[in-house]
Structure 1
């Protein structure tokens, strides 16, 4: 095939450039489709792509061939196949993952997220909703408003989506009956009023026939409102409201290509910024001034919310990833205790008191979640008492982080778009690195504002020098009956004989006083270890070598205590004894009671023990006596010190 003439190539290039400029100037609307399983979300999006001519000829041919293979109703094209890309989705006829599609009309650009309707994949639906401006909530005309319809309504409302379309789908399967449509609208209206959804419209559609998707059709002459596409093209977008907020930019990366340039890269979360603006670096509070606003296209006179930029300052200021650059005269706050709404997304229930990684914008911290204040019943909107949160549960709880985080309440106080970057967070399991929850911060808990660290003239270094030793925590862990207390007691005697200053914290002894209010549930065990860790830390501040003998069954809590200590001061000692041998010893008769069901939540029987993966010392009690184990520990400790 002959190549186009030079003039023609120039014309083609100019046409492409003009097309790209037109596309660039159009507004972008991000929206999601959500609702219960098999409500027709993928079919609706496929129909939108078809009606807006976003399908290439080869795609259309493949779609027609695939539709024949699956034997669609009446030989119609199965538009859902355009969106359901995973083989498991095609086999089951449901959406599992979030599928993003781009399309455009003469008026506007769109990014649509097709989210799963199945309750098992609610976490994926929440992912799609987290960046959307509008939600298209689908309801099957035959089934009406279901529990998942309500759950998705609540979730979209919680993440700050304030514009919603109630798309009553599959109207062709109820003979386009107006009464069926109006009954669903009336049912949904009473629910929407309960949770505060005010800005919504209802549209009857048929993805199969295309009625009211992009055009009207003749089947529903009784409906005089806009088609779905007409509404999407004209609904207001709230981007200007983000630009009117005070300036905030979480720092994602410090750009230092050479010694002459140092810039701070990130996406502007709110407001606008220009050269000469005075800014505050948080959480340090240092003041600086903007020198340049740099993008891939060159320097800007002004940058606004949503743009990714690199900022340079007129002076050298310590600033790194996780810091927030904000308007100097109107900065956000920093805190380490919050109230938050939490949507639990893991199969394993939330464990109050356990340490999770919390990610807020570009900030990371260890966070513990208290027992929920309440859990929300998505059907009745009741606030129910709850000790934990299970998969897909929505609750309110207090969160404590190990360092202050720069934040803003998720819900904008002026009623504008939510503060997603500095108000929305995720929780990550420390062991599996899987995301277990998402949440929205309400406010900081101010109860400790007047409590400050007191400066002391005699610090931990002086305490240690006076005792002539380096502080340490010897953390003995293992099953009940493994010999932890016996070995720890021998180790302390040997260290005392060497003139070392020590203190032994024993699990049973601590539960007679400090922790006598705690039981043996998973949450109580975690709180037991947290308190012991705090006491051990205070004792190392006094210069002591602290020995602790606790089952401490969970790795996450042992790592939590390690994180409290200075580098190198936490020595984990795994007293390894097989369960059968621990039961044989069973001098207290605890295993027998547990086997009989008289001692619930007993480690090794009906509560798990997670052995250390890389302890500093590993003691095999089947291969050495308690005396030999103590000698080995003291010998190794003296090497470490």
Structure 2
């Protein structure tokens, strides 16, 4: 069975990301015949002699950038060596929040730059977000290399500048690869280019096929946010009491000792139910119903965790926020904090620092956080929550900040993270 690689794309506007994603889909034969026919017809209508592969993805991209939806678009493709799930995010500055969403589960990110423009402000911003989220590997795709005459010096200057920036963000040697590509013509995307004899590294697809896949970032100690309590109260199941949800991390088996948080109640797992019958083991990402040996008072929002390696229960948090709203955040603001399946009221106690992703420096005690700012914030919670450090368990170390007035998402928060 081939392995799976989850990757995200990022980059500034007009860097050719749509064309690159379309090229990957086309070269891996992941495009249906009718899709390709439609793209070919549309390209002819535009006066082009070859298919405009960006049209394979630009329809949904246009919808996102017009504000119809802000969801990340996921693409699926495969080669004989590996399967891929690609999170495609828009490039506009106001949609930097999409990079946070797309990169949250990525094992690798492809960051595009235009060879004519080099490393931009948005490039550095995206790289900082990727480092903060703990994406372990980066590929810098220096696109449109054909428009600079396949100049080795141009590529080397951009690659060296970005490598220095990546090292400053904490990326070690060997975790960042720079590739000169032309998504339009296919140079070094799936096939080596005769126009870049000076480049001896792998093509983009070859690297994606062979890069070591890190362990699942959610494969930590068992964590299970309770989404729903099932009590049929029927003659067939008079005493059935199950706790339904999706396993956020780790694995669970009947007989495992668990603790219910924030209460601290202990029990053992008696059975693992699914729509297809009981399981002897369930792991991260699976939706199951747990039955416990003891009749405990458990409700939606509680967290079931492995006993002996449980999260910390606290009503005070220090976390890094990626601020995603045009409304600035100021100390004293009252917000809602959504962690797993529980939402609690919270007060912003202090903004202790703001990270400048351009200079890689920290500004102490800023007055506020604005759109796309990254800062360290202290929060006081109305109710205690069981939380992990993001580096240990991303799903239970992350949360959302929500506007209590209109329900808008204001920020993504990472518990225990520090600026690199």
Q: CA deviation at 1:35?
A: 1.2
Check if 1:312 corresponds to 2:291.
Answer: yes
Q: Secondary structure at the match of 2:370?
A: coil
Correspondence for 1:507: none
Query: Which of 175, 190, 207 pairs up with 2:149?
Result: 175
Correspondence for 1:323: 302
Q: Secondary structure at the match of 1:395?
A: strand
Please, what TM-score do these two structures have when normalized by structure 2?
0.92
In 1, distance between residues paired with 2:279 and 2:361? 50
Check if 1:130 corresponds to 2:104.
Answer: yes
Moved more, 253-262 or 227-236: 253-262
In 2, distance between residues paired with 1:90 and 1:355? 30
Where in structure 1 do 4 or more consecutive aligned residues deviate above 6 Å? none
In 2, distance between residues paired with 1:283 and 1:124? 31
Check if 1:143 corresponds to 2:117.
Answer: yes
* Equivalences for residues 58-69 of structure 1 within 5 A: 58-69=34-45
Q: CA deviation at 1:276?
A: 0.7
Check if 1:211 corresponds to 2:187.
Answer: yes
Gaps spanning 5+ residues in structure 1: where?
1-24, 413-418, 444-641
Q: How many residues align?
A: 408
Correspondence for 2:224: 249
Q: CA deviation at 1:111?
A: 1.4
State the Cα deviation string for residues 230-250 of structure 1 (Å, max 9, x = none).
Answer: 21122222335643x322111
Q: Secondary structure at the match of 1:193?
A: helix
In 1, distance between residues paired with 2:350 and 2:316? 14
State the Cα deviation string for residues 90-110 of structure 1 (Å, max 9, x = none).
Answer: 999xx9763211112212221
Bigger strand share: 2
Correspondence for 1:396: 376
> Would the aligned equivalents of 1:350 and 1:390 in 2 still touch at CA under 8 Å?
yes
In 2, distance between residues paired with 1:253 and 1:26? 35
Q: Secondary structure at the match of 1:44?
A: helix
Q: Secondary structure at the match of 1:161?
A: coil
Check if 1:119 corresponds to 2:93.
Answer: yes
In 2, distance between residues paired with 1:310 and 1:172? 55
Question: Structure 1 residues 280 and 169, CA, compared in 2 at 3 Å: closer, same or farther?
Answer: same
Moved more, 257-266 or 145-154: 257-266
> Would the aligned equivalents of 1:274 and 1:303 in 2 still touch at CA under 8 Å?
yes
In 2, distance between residues paired with 1:342 and 1:189? 26
In 2, distance between residues paired with 1:257 and 1:429? 35
Q: CA deviation at 1:312?
A: 1.2
In 2, distance between residues paired with 1:430 and 1:127? 21
In 2, distance between residues paired with 1:204 and 1:157? 22
Correspondence for 1:34: 10
Correspondence for 1:46: 22
> Would the aligned equivalents of 2:332 and 2:348 in 1 still touch at CA under 8 Å?
yes
Query: Which of 268, 272, 278 pairs up with 1:293?
Result: 272
In 2, distance between residues paired with 1:437 and 1:256? 35
Correspondence for 1:601: none
> Would the aligned equivalents of 1:371 and 1:387 in 2 still touch at CA under 8 Å?
no
Please, what TM-score do these two structures have when normalized by structure 1?
0.61
> Would the aligned equivalents of 2:338 and 2:400 in 1 still touch at CA under 8 Å?
yes
Question: Structure 1 residues 430 and 100, CA, compared in 2 at 3 Å: closer, same or farther?
Answer: same
* Equivalences for residues 481-630 of structure 1 within 5 A: none
Check if 1:154 corresponds to 2:128.
Answer: yes
Q: Secondary structure at the match of 1:225?
A: coil
> Would the aligned equivalents of 1:139 and 1:167 in 2 still touch at CA under 8 Å?
yes
Correspondence for 2:330: 351
Q: Which structure exhibits the higher relative contact order, with contacts defined as CA atoms closer than 8 Å and separated by 6 or more residues?
A: 2
Correspondence for 2:210: 234
> Would the aligned equivalents of 2:249 and 2:395 in 1 still touch at CA under 8 Å?
no
Check if 1:369 corresponds to 2:348.
Answer: yes
Q: Secondary structure at the match of 1:55?
A: coil
State the Cα deviation string for residues 179-214 of structure 1 (Å, max 9, x = none).
Answer: 111111110111111110222111111111111111
Q: CA deviation at 1:364?
A: 0.8
Higher radius of gyration, 1 or 2: 1
Correspondence for 2:159: 185
> Would the aligned equivalents of 1:371 and 1:388 in 2 still touch at CA under 8 Å?
no
Question: Structure 1 residues 255 and 90, CA, compared in 2 at 3 Å: closer, same or farther?
Answer: closer
Question: Structure 1 residues 290 and 219, CA, compared in 2 at 3 Å: closer, same or farther?
Answer: same
Question: Structure 1 residues 380 and 241, CA, compared in 2 at 3 Å: closer, same or farther?
Answer: closer
> Would the aligned equivalents of 2:312 and 2:388 in 1 still touch at CA under 8 Å?
yes
Q: Secondary structure at the match of 1:64?
A: helix
Correspondence for 1:164: 138
